[in-house]
Amino acid sequence: MLKKLFQSFRTPVRRPQHLRTTPEVLNSGQHSLQRHQFSRHAVGIVERLQNAGYQAYLVGGCVRDLMLGITPKDFDVATSATPEQVKAEFRNARVIGRRFKLVHVHFGREIIEVATFRANHPLDEEEHSNQSSSNESGRILRDNVYGTLEEDAQRRDFTINALYYDPVTERILDYANGVHDVRNHLIRLIGDPVKRYQEDPVRMLRAVRFAAKLDFGIERHSATPIRELAPMLREIPTARLFEEVLKLFLNGYASDTFEMMVDLELFEPLFPASSEALEDEPTYTHTLISEALINTDLRVKQGKPVTPAFLFAALLWPALPARVLRLQSRGMPPIPAMQEAAHELIIEQCQRIAIPKRFTIPIREIWDMQERLPRRSGKRADLLLDNPRFRAGYDFLLLRESAGEDTDGLGEWWTAYQDANDSERRGMIRDLGGKDEGAAPGAPRKRRRSGAAKRKGADAASGAGE
Ligand code: ATP
Ligand code: MG
């Protein structure tokens, strides 16, 4: 982690800041990329578009990742052809329009995204265009202005994402010194960082995501404005933030991503309640979230399924106790207080990140399970074992314990119970006596606190920022 924080504030390697109007061209001998490394479908699309008289290139993440020896997630094509012209070339093409119009060309399960060159839109030109718009803080709200290849390069977020590969000539076109930054492991915004973050604050999250995934440093000028601009994330539509948060935490680098987010103060605008818990109970909160994320990263790397519900359950859990206590102090009994706190917390969180119902329901079930796991007498233990949410609930209990929560050996008990045969199980229940009846506090119980009361990320940041 220290290495990462250090990298985040590394002095930029000397490099001219200007954007090129003519690209640096790297011929096949000057880079390591080879046509056959790219999806043959994507290469086929580029060839076809070029044969039809359009400009077309492979672009973005696939070029970047292959230069780094990483297998790309997907292959994107950029072209001078409009979506309609692209569609006319391919029978298996569909025009889709979310934030901007794109064409998806389908080859069985593989989808190649083909985007028309777009222009950035400087704020002062706003009134001259009826196709782009931005709000008073400079955020781009609509973004469908077609442009030249050069303009397309300049409106991209990071230099490393603005490399164009022509599989026909096997040349790389580099308008923003992206090759230099790929080779020096730097995340650097194209253009003026403040302006680019104001246009789209999600770029701050993307900077962190790529830094964690690629193990790159964020170049100093791109890192410095983040803390101040982080609150702009509150203006981003909550549904987009849900998608972004999944990308941040389900890409196999969640634990590093989280550290950087806390350090750069990007966590607070997304998870205000958890951030408060991080202030109030730093060791416990940090450990619980980190453990959950390390575990998630491991599962992603092993190709095992990961559920956003478990992830959000963990991210939000440390924010529950304060709420439960507040309700209890108003006279509400523990269990209803827990239920109400969970309900309120999820509503509050959804004002920042739109967690869909299909996840909020299992989040509540995982939390509810925490109240039920201590109550094991009679047939309760066996009923719980049969509950479809048992596994997630049990894993969550172990997570709480690994963060230092005192559960009176409950995790160990359940581990043994699952391994036990019928008569052993009956014995285990008998041994409980009446012990478990009152043991349903609902809210996380008193936990150990270590002396290191300060947040790890904050400590390291203040040191590394000098
Ligand atoms: P990966 O798919 O591996 O996460 P990627 O770089 O392909 O990484 P995408 O989100 O697929 O990322 O976006 C494709 C390309 O579109 C990026 O490489 C970048 O050039 C451009 N892009 C995406 N989002 C933005 C943004 N918010 N602002 C500017 N350019 C963007
Ligand atoms: Mg991509």
88-106 pLDDT tens trace: 999 999 999 866 789 999 9
Fill in the amino acid letter for 317. W
Flag whether pLDDT at 321 surpasses 50. Answer: yes
The pLDDT of residue 393 is 96
Q: How far apart are CA 23 and CA 461, in angstroms?
A: 37
CB of 113 closer than 6 angstroms to any ligand 1 atom: no
The pLDDT of residue 143 is 57
CB of 73 closer than 6 angstroms to any ligand 1 atom: yes
The pLDDT of residue 447 is 47
Residue 76 is among the residues annotated as catalytic for this protein? yes
Ligand 1 pocket mutation pick from 71, 157, 192, 251 by most atoms within 8 angstroms of CB: 157
The pLDDT of residue 454 is 37
| Least confident span in 140-144, 328-332, 357-361, 383-387 | 140-144
Q: Where are the domains of the chain?
A: 19-190, 271-457
pLDDT tens-place string over residues 184-220: 999 999 999 999 999 999 999 999 999 999 999 999 9
- 19-190: CATH number: 3.30.460.10
CB 442 within 8 A of CB 334: yes
145 contact partners, CB below 8 Å, separation of at least 6: 118, 119, 121, 129, 131, 132
Flag whether pLDDT at 427 surpasses 70. Answer: yes
- Structural tokens at position 311: 């992830």
Residue 157 is among the residues annotated as catalytic for this protein? yes
pLDDT interval class at 378 (50, 70, 90) = confident
- Structural tokens at position 309: 């519900």
Of 65, 157, 256, 436, catalytic? 157
Rounded to an integer, the average pLDDT of 129-145 is 58
CB 176 within 8 A of CB 20: yes
**Fold annotation for 271-457:** cca-adding enzyme, domain 2 (1.10.3090)
Flag whether pLDDT at 169 surpasses 60. Answer: yes
Residue 74 is among the residues annotated as catalytic for this protein? yes
Q: How far apart are CA 355 and CA 309, in angstroms?
A: 9
The pLDDT of residue 145 is 82
| Least confident span in 133-137, 153-157, 276-280 | 133-137
Q: How far apart are CA 415 and CA 429, in angstroms?
A: 14
Alpha carbon nearest to ligand 1 atom 15, residue:
60
- Of 109, 101, 97, 106, the closest CA to residue 45 belongs to 106
- Structural tokens at position 139: 């955020």
Q: How far apart are CA 165 and CA 60, in angstroms?
A: 9
Angle of helix 320-329 versus helix 272-280 axis, rounded to 10: 80
The pLDDT of residue 97 is 85
Flag whether pLDDT at 11 surpasses 90. Answer: no
Q: What percent of the chain has pLDDT over 90?
A: 79
pLDDT interval class at 79 (50, 70, 90) = very high
Give the DSSP letter of residue 124.
Answer: G
Q: How far apart are CA 285 and CA 405, in angstroms?
A: 11
Closest ligand to C-alpha of residue 70 is 1
- Structural tokens at position 56: 């077309």
Composition of the chain by helix, strand, coil, percent to 5: 55, 10, 35
The pLDDT of residue 13 is 43
What is the distance in A from the centroid of ligand 1 to the CA of 244? 12
Residue bearing the bigger pLDDT, 334 or 344: 344
CB of 58 closer than 6 angstroms to any ligand 1 atom: no
Flag whether pLDDT at 296 surpasses 80. Answer: yes
Closest ligand to C-alpha of residue 159 is 1
Rounded to an integer, the average pLDDT of 265-272 is 98
